[in-house]
Amino acid sequence: MSSRILLVEDEPGVALVVSDLLRAEGHAVETSANGKTGLQLACEKKFDLLILDVMLPGLNGFEICHAVRQRGFDGAILMLTAKSQIPDRVQGLRTGADDYFVKPFDPDELLARVSALLRRIHKEQLTPVMRIEFGKVMADFAKMEFFKDGLPISLAAKEAELLRFLVNQSRTGRVARANS
């Protein structure tokens, strides 16, 4: 699933490696090399995930994290930094980060952490469908009642579960639609 990610990192080599890794996974990535521009982008555009270095020119990553949370940012925030001391980690998490990852890092672990954060936020953003009508079919998942042309349809529990899964996935764009 493609997500919009903002990477705020002032080391060009790290920014290039991380953005290339994320793009290879299908994500749309924007980058900023300083804290003020990073905060501005985070506030002006819609991102699913912010990846913040701590030591940045302008504003530091802790300040950006705190500021975006104060402004209602509900996406995920990953601190990616060389500051490895416990007080730094605690400060990052207390200012609103969801995860704190220390450089140097393993690329596979970074991608796994990003995937876990994105899975969680996408899941939280979507309320499951309780009732849907399409064509001559009506499905009420709360009551587990299904009708076609006004007549009841009998579905096994697994069939109803699969139907609900497909309906929910179609809302996220994860299910290919016919004729699209």
Tens-place pLDDT, residues 123-179? 655 566 778 888 888 888 778 888 999 999 988 878 888 888 787 766 654 444 443
Give the span between the Cα atoms of 141 and 160, in whole angstroms.
8
178 found inside a domain? no
CA distances from 159 to 8, 51, 75, 154, 155 (A): 45, 40, 33, 10, 6
Is 177 part of any domain?
no
CATH number, residue 84: 3.40.50.2300
Q: Specify whether 116 is located in the same domain as 157.
A: no
pLDDT-derived band at 75, boundaries 50, 70, 90: very high
- For residue 152, which phi and psi values (nearest 5 degrees)? -65, 145
Range of the domain at 36: 4-125
Per the CB < 8 A criterion, the answer to whether 63 and 51 are in contact is: no
Residues 103 and 162 in one domain: no
- Identify whether residues 67 and 153 lie together within a single domain: no
CB distance 141 to 161 below 8 Å: no
The contacts of residue 67 (CB under 8 Å, 6+ apart) are: 39, 43, 59
Both 83 and 143 in one domain: the answer is: no
| Residues 109 and 168 occupy one common structural domain | no
**Does the global pTM surpass 0.85?**
no
Q: Are residues 64 and 112 in the same domain?
A: yes
Residues 105 and 146 in one domain: no
For residue 98, give every residue at least 6 positions away whose Cβ sits within 8 Å of its Cβ, in sequence order, or none: 76, 77, 78, 117, 120
Tell me, yes or no, whether 77 and 63 share the same domain: yes
